[in-house]
Amino acid sequence: MPTELEELVEFLHHGNTQVRQIAAENLVGYSTAQPDIFKAGQLTPVKDLKLLIKDYPPIAKNALTILVNISGDLEVLKTLAEDDAFLESLLLRITSDKEPNANEMGMLLANMAKWDSIKRLLKLKRDLPKSLSTSSNAMDQLMDCFVKGAEGRYNKNANYDYISYFLADMAKHAEGRQYFVTPRKGDNDIVPLTKLIVFTEHTSEIRRRGAASTIKNVAFDIASHPKLMSSADINILPYLLLPLMGSEDYSDEDTEGMLEECQLLPPDKQRDADAQILATHLETLLLLTTNGEGRDVLRGIKTYPIVRELHLQVNDEGVKEGCDRLVQVLMRDEEGGEKKVEEIDEDEQIIEVL
């Protein structure tokens, strides 16, 4: 005989709305305590949960929370990420300006991006949500959700912060990195990364962390370094250096050559309080020193004094180690030649909603 818990899971596809709602609500806790119960009968509960995202908002919210929590399981992740119909259902709702559960859907999409086949979104064409985007490309539409949705400016129910984690994972693919540095014909020839970099000093830690990781992953494309660093092109350097800076005073010698954006900062200027984000920016700067031209640019804009002050002011082992590695490269003689870029690691982990 099935246990009470097994019976509760079966109620996810019950014909009565109240029964489905009670079942979904009571199963949320088990999605972290006993996630394997959702894998019964060849993932039948997962199939039910995928349908429930179309249900009444309270039911859909609980179903999404459960899916977010159990999507760390590879078998569950695969069945979510490889289901084209489910993906379109998710995209249809995320891009709606009236979807009440868009944030939870963004979390789930971010987790689904851990499965490599999600990179098909880079080329996926779909109907145009006219109030959101000028592009029929799914990736462009998600970028617009993230940008226009800040502080609920597109959908009053959502800020779309977790889309930044999705973008970071997409940038781990070569095709994704090219997407971020290439002008989009369907979006007035705007380079996608220029939309994202402004969020390195946003109030949302999630946005800042996702933006930082996306920029870092894009920087693994060495051929893009000149356009990334050029003030006439993508111009990422101010957005990497300003989060590292506080209100410290620099000598005239130190400031001579600094980027204008990094000079004469207000006395209440604060550096990013998240050590992980600081470490990520340092890793990106290190990637930009891969060749001599990049090292010359960073030396010329006086990166060293900024990193020196960061090392003095922040007592975090990861940050200090990042400072040391960058300084060693910037201060060494050029006879060492080219640096080798390390393999990309996974910056964003599976998100778990408790």
Nearest to 133, CA basis, from 114, 147, 120, 119:
147
Nearest to 324, CA basis, from 340, 314, 311, 309:
311
- Residue 108 sits in the same domain as residue 57: no
- Determine the structural domain holding residue 237 and report its residue range: 232-331
- Look at residue 325 in the predicted model and tell me its pLDDT: 96
Residue 269 lies in a domain: yes
- Look at residue 334 in the predicted model and tell me its pLDDT: 53
The residues that bridge with 137 in the sheet, in sequence order, are: 125
Domain stop point among 169, 200, 220: 220
- Residue 34 sits in the same domain as residue 54: yes
Contact 309, 242 (CB under 8 A): no
- Look at residue 313 in the predicted model and tell me its pLDDT: 95
CA–CA separation, 119 and 116 (whole Å):
6
CA distance readout (Å), 80 to 51, 110, 164, 314: 12, 12, 20, 41
CA–CA separation, 151 and 159 (whole Å):
5
The H or E element that residue 255 is part of is helix 252-255
Count of the separate structural domains present in the chain: 3
Contact 144, 194 (CB under 8 A): no
Residue 354 lies in a domain: no
Residue 94 lies in a domain: no
CA–CA separation, 245 and 263 (whole Å):
10
- Residue 211 sits in the same domain as residue 269: no
- Residue 211 sits in the same domain as residue 267: no
- Look at residue 298 in the predicted model and tell me its pLDDT: 97
The reported pTM is: 0.92
Nearest to 196, CA basis, from 77, 284, 120, 305:
284
Residue 51 lies in a domain: yes
- Residue 106 sits in the same domain as residue 200: yes
- Look at residue 344 in the predicted model and tell me its pLDDT: 43
- Residue 216 sits in the same domain as residue 237: no
Residue 346 lies in a domain: no
CA–CA separation, 348 and 354 (whole Å):
17
Residue 288 lies in a domain: yes
Phi-psi region of 86 (alpha: psi -120 to 50; beta: other; left: phi over 0): alpha
- Residue 119 sits in the same domain as residue 59: no
CA–CA separation, 44 and 41 (whole Å):
5
Domain stop point among 177, 197, 220: 220
Domain stop point among 186, 220, 254: 220
- Residue 45 sits in the same domain as residue 115: no
**Burial of 337: CB neighbours in 10 Å, binned 0-12, 13-18, 19+:** exposed
- Residue 69 sits in the same domain as residue 141: no
Residue 283 lies in a domain: yes
Residue 315: phi and psi, rounded to 5, are -95, 70
- Averaged in consecutive runs of 10 residues, what is the pLDDT profile of the chain (354 residues)? 82 93 95 94 95 97 98 97 97 97 98 96 94 94 96 94 97 97 91 97 97 97 97 97 95 94 93 97 97 95 96 96 96 59 46 44
Residue 77 lies in a domain: yes
Q: What is the CATH number of the domain that holds 36?
A: 1.25.10
- Residue 145 sits in the same domain as residue 190: yes
- Residue 293 sits in the same domain as residue 205: no
- Residue 205 sits in the same domain as residue 255: no
